Amino acid sequence: MILLAVAAIGLVLLPCLNAFVPASSFWHVSNFSINIYGKYLCYAVLALSVNLLWGYTGLLSLGQALFFTLGGYALGMHLMLMIGKLGQYKADIPDFMVFLEFPKRFPETGGLPPHWIPFKHFWFAIAAVVWVPALVAFIFGILAFRSRIKGVYFSILSQAVTYAACLMFFRNDFTFGGNNGLTDFKFLLGADVNSATTKRWLYVASGLLLLGVYLLCRWLTSTKFGLVQRAIRDSENRVLFSGYATANFKLFVFVLAAVIASLGGALYVPQVGIINPSEMAPDKSLEAVVWCAVGGRGTLIGPILGAITVNALKSYATRAFAEQWLYILGLLFILVVVFVPNGLVGIPGQLSRLRKKFTTRAQPAPAPTLAPTARLEPAAKE
């Protein structure tokens, strides 16, 4: 019920308030807001992917931003090719290719690197959003899980791979625009990518994606697979010695989480209008982990709440005190770990436990809950 209400407000009411209520009205939701909210929803998708790994399988991946960015690049490449002759150089190829003298490097294709060519098709770009990160995750996963890399070593390795990819994408000759990345997008499926209508629909698409991913996670964790997942998190040896090939389970989750993060990244890029290698810098992956922890890892709603609250706070704080933002984030993480270990979603439970503590302390000689059974046992012996 609550889910339905939240989905209705998010997916129908907000876009309607943006589209049909005059800007002068109190109830109007500005284009700027819709755009920001759309971004938050993509972050929430990323947070769910981190949670699937960390919260449910015990794999603290510090490289989810890599997959988020790969998805962004895959769609970004298509958007670059849709600019047509409207770029600064009025050329057939994206500006950075002219600027970096690609026509000399790839003369037979007029400057377009061969692997860019199929990205002219929207369907190919969407397919790449799925299979590229899936393939990367599969290769990384099979190497890491088969060699039984665990715990902190897995975290470090995932971060190292992400950093290596980041450095690679920074290079101009890697053909993805170097440190400027991909930007100046004009059209998506023939529509002006910067118009209010397109942004609104991108917001709705992000909401639908988030809803879909949420339902997928909810289903997955309810299956026996979900039980195995959490068993691996809590006692991997027991699972292994019970006949499960734990590496295969981890590989499956890792690939799935990569695809989820990538889909989020693909929708993120047209909304922010740029994708560059700094998106896969180590701190980006860490931020996603913080969202998870703040919201409540290992719960379905927590990461979504965490991603939205922390980013809302970030939007405010980076404007109000730009320099101190990272300290605020760090402090927030510490406070959560120390005082609300179960995150935002755990607060109601914590409060009710606190209240119980106080009320029982107020009463004289509280009867421990185990007392009846404790009294029964000696009687049974006699």
Partner 1 sequence: MKHFILTMEGVNKSFEGFKAIDDLNFYMDEGELRVIIGPNGAGKSTMLDLITGRTRPDSGKIEFGRDTDLTRLNEYRINRLGIGRKFQTPSVYVEHTVFENMWLSLEGTRSVWSTLAARISSSQRERLFEVLKIVGLAERPDQKAGVLSHGQKQWLEIGMLLAQNPRLLLVDEPAAGMTDEETARTGELLVSLAGRHSVIVIEHDMVFVRQIARRVTVLHQGHVLCEGNVDEVQNDERVIEVYLGRKKKAEAA
Nearest-angstrom CA–CA distance, 274 and 268: 9
Verify binding: residue 325, partner 1, rule CB under 8 A: no
Side-chain-side CA neighbours of 293 within 13 Å: the count stands at: 21
Verify binding: residue 245, partner 1, rule CB under 8 A: yes
Verify binding: residue 99, partner 1, rule CB under 8 A: no
Nearer to partner 1, 51 or 183 (CB): 51
Nearest-angstrom CA–CA distance, 59 and 134: 17
Nearest-angstrom CA–CA distance, 135 and 67: 11
CB 206 → partner 1: shortest distance, Å?
27
Part in contact with partner 1 (CB under 8 A); list of ranges 4-12, 207-215, 246-254, 264-272:
246-254
Verify binding: residue 142, partner 1, rule CB under 8 A: no
If one counts every other C-beta atom within 10 angstroms of the C-beta of residue 96, the result is 22
Place of tokens 């960015």: 69
# binding residues, partner 1 (CB under 8 A): 23
> What kind and span of H or E run contains 187?
strand 187-188
Verify binding: residue 147, partner 1, rule CB under 8 A: no
Categorise residue 216: left if φ over 0, alpha if ψ from -120 to 50, beta otherwise.
Answer: alpha
What the block records as the tokens of 21 is 């209520």
| Binding-site member from 22, 107, 243, 364 for partner 1 (CB under 8 A) | 243
| Binding-site member from 122, 163, 187, 244 for partner 1 (CB under 8 A) | 244
Q: Tell me the per-residue interface mask from 167 to 206 with partner 1, x by CB under 8 A, - otherwise.
A: ----------------------------------------
CB 348 → partner 1: shortest distance, Å?
20
Verify binding: residue 138, partner 1, rule CB under 8 A: no
Q: How many residues does the chain have?
A: 382
Verify binding: residue 358, partner 1, rule CB under 8 A: no
| Binding-site member from 18, 162, 183, 246 for partner 1 (CB under 8 A) | 246
Nearest-angstrom CA–CA distance, 200 and 19: 8
Site for partner 1 in 7-66 (CB under 8 A): none
Nearest-angstrom CA–CA distance, 368 and 52: 37
Q: Tell me the per-residue interface mask from 207 to 236 with partner 1, x by CB under 8 A, - otherwise.
A: -------------x--xxx-xx-xx--xx-
CB 240 → partner 1: shortest distance, Å?
5
Nearest-angstrom CA–CA distance, 286 and 149: 20
Q: Tell me the per-residue interface mask from 247 to 266 with partner 1, x by CB under 8 A, - otherwise.
A: -xx--x--------------
DSSP string of 90-114? Answer: --SS-HHHHHTTHHHHSGGGTT--G
If one counts every other C-beta atom within 10 angstroms of the C-beta of residue 269, the result is 30
Verify binding: residue 123, partner 1, rule CB under 8 A: no
Task: Fill in the DSSP letter of residue 365.
Answer: S
Task: Fill in the DSSP letter of residue 12.
Answer: I
Residues in contact with partner 1 by the rule CB under 8 A: 220, 223-225, 227-228, 230-231, 234-235, 237-246, 248-249, 252
